[in-house]
């Protein structure tokens, strides 16, 4: 699967991407997680952008009784996707969208996103969500303009960002195992392995 095709599929993914994406796509994104360096080595995002992405991602998927976005290394996943998967125009568009979030923060609170109090950060995300809702509602009133479908990532930064956060989380090992209670696709399958007492269908 070409990376461009994978990103198109990501754009149409459901709220929990790993529940609806093809297994080939899930495997590709899971492999992307496995390739992350430790400690992280950012390639596209600078330190400030990484901190902003981290704060926004953790608000969307905070740590509770299950791991959060930071536990799943979602910000580093996003940096990798921006670097290795995005074309330069799409990468620049994402960074421009991130810069627009900072502009909104400064206009409303005279501070960058990471310097805001948590309630202010939540307010910014609510404003971004309201704009996304208006864009989605435009589908029904202007179907030709949107080709009868929901806005694509190019059209709404927050839509794209949420897809990346959710995909990065649910295709990570901690996200898939802890949140979805899913078994990560094994690296090797023994099709002719003998049945054991614990095997499905084995006689007791």
Separation between Cα atoms, residue 91 and residue 88, nearest integer Å: 5
Token representation of residue 17: 């991407």
Q: What is the pLDDT of residues 102-125, one digit of tens each?
A: 999 999 999 999 999 999 999 999
**List of residues 6+ apart from 36 with CB closer than 8 A:** 73, 76, 77, 80
Domain regions of the chain by residue span: 3-179
Q: CA–CA separation, 142 vs 128, rounded Å?
A: 21
Q: Dump pLDDT digits (tens) for 21-67.
A: 667 777 888 888 888 888 878 999 999 999 999 999 999 999 988 88
Residues 82, 44: contact at Cβ < 8 Å?
Answer: yes
CA-nearest of 55, 8, 6 to 154 is 8
- pLDDT, tens only, 57-97: 999 999 988 889 999 999 999 999 999 888 899 899 999 99
pTM comes to 0.75
The DSSP symbol for 201 reads: T
User: In this structure, are residues 112 and 50 in contact, taking their beta carbons and an 8 Å threshold?
Assistant: no
């Amino acid at each position: 699967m070409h990376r461009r095709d994978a990103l198109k599929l990501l754009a149409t993914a459901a709220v929990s991407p790993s529940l609806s994406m093809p297994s080939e796509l899930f495997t590709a994104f899971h492999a992307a997680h496995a390739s992350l360096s430790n400690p992280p080595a950012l390639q596209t995002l600078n330190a400030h952008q990484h901190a902003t992405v981290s704060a926004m991602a953790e608000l969307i998927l905070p740590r509770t009784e299950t791991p959060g976005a930071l536990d799943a290394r979602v910000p580093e996943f996003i940096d990798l996707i921006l670097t290795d998967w995005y074309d330069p125009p799409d990468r620049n568009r994402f960074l421009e969208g991130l810069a627009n979030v900072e502009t909104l923060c400064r206009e409303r609170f005279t501070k960058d996103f990471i310097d805001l109090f948590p309630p202010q950060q939540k307010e910014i995300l609510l404003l971004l969500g309201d704009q996304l809702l208006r864009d989605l509602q435009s589908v029904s009133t202007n179907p030709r303009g949107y080709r009868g479908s929901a806005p694509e990532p190019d059209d709404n930064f927050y839509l794209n960002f949420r897809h990346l956060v959710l995909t990065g989380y649910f295709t990570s090992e901690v996200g898939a195992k802890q949140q979805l209670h899913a078994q990560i696709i094994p690296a090797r399958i023994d099709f002719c392995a003998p049945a054991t007492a614990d095997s499905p269908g084995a006689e007791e």
